[in-house]
Structure 1
């Protein structure tokens, strides 16, 4: 099978597995992955009858970025995409350049959707999935991170998670287009670039090849396990929840893997942000290792407390006022 055929097959199979809206958007950077994805989506649309729209995000982080975005829009329209629009975004300085650009990009893509049932296809490949798993492993982020990216996480769709970067590049050659080469993708200041250019090639050499597909398979297996545990945890949460609080007797009877998933969901739903594993384990100790200890302070100036057999979450108590004589 040719590289272009492989990309088209991946897109066709993905869209056959979901309910496709009347319009399918494709996030386009101008690189090989997104250009090949946009071309394949337009190709499939001709037989499926849905509209296609390319969303080109101009991050404004490099000189000439507006010209690059305009060229990317023109290229995908020549390849059959019906509408291509450029959206400029402001990238904040907090959180590092990669994270800030990603946050701005996803916000712009979501805002571009015409309705809540919209779909945006992203050009993440098998290689990107392998890099994501390695990053999660190196950072000790746990099984949720090692499970990698989901192929369908509305409104996001990732049809190319089984397609390699070499195949998207080959597809562009077959299409007769020269994709944009982002200089950031060769900048060793970025962690992903060093993973891509140094770590993965070394692993491929030491382990005699096949590392990227193996990491992607590991992600798929962990994702199945994680989703199964999340389903079970949702049932425990339903039994434990009482008006926004959690019954500790219900939680204490469950294995740690389920108990912590319930606590994680409860804390996130209650407004806790930047939740770490250390935070989660400290709150879990209020259930599994209860010795009458005090509450656990969490990001957002919130405190998880145990009282009368229930966990609750509250902000700081107001300072007592004194009356003047």
Structure 2
């Protein structure tokens, strides 16, 4: 198959795929930024959000779904020394679809209309762009239209007889609940693979998995306070043990700041009972290391007091 028809084969395959309608919409929008060979393009998520009418978060979610399903190749585009980096998107085919550009089956499915010799009557101009291309026009939904003056629209499965029958929905890959507890709140980017993260997760024992889940809130907070820091890929966060330091921040008990009201409650108790809880409150008044503010003490505090054995 020529490279010039590769992007059209991909679009045709997307329309026939079992992806959700919104994911197909995002992929077809990305294809607008590609050349006819389906080579890499570099639209920003803001550009895609404006073009699709979706939020940037929703665009990222559907890009991730397409990537996990094998319909899109995502990589980082940029050169060493440059401060900017964009995601690069390229057409891809899932292994189980059998519609790679060189597949003979794809050659049979890409049909052109009205381009054969003598297919146009003499004196009539070839209409490259069919009527009814308004957004809500049903006819526009039945044809994939060409943006090239030398390539005619491709007929898709929606215009074939019997295509009104509902398609069987593609079963969504399910992951264990414990892994989802880690994955859902983890700071992600569109190039992160959920399957790669799960492969790393499977190599952890129960205690390590619990630490991973506990580490995510602290790591998410760190990313939020450091917007220039690109979140590490989830699979490396797991496999390289990056979660350990953040888990320690979560599990280490923080000592509560003792207020004047706290000290007064303790002093009032000790003045009436003449007992002081050294283990929890520290040295009693008059002893070395006493932490009670001096302005709260009375001259007789600590005199005759004994250690409270709780």
More helix, by proportion: 1
Normalised by the length of structure 2, the TM-score is: 0.28
TM-score (norm 1): 0.27
- Whose Rg is larger? 2
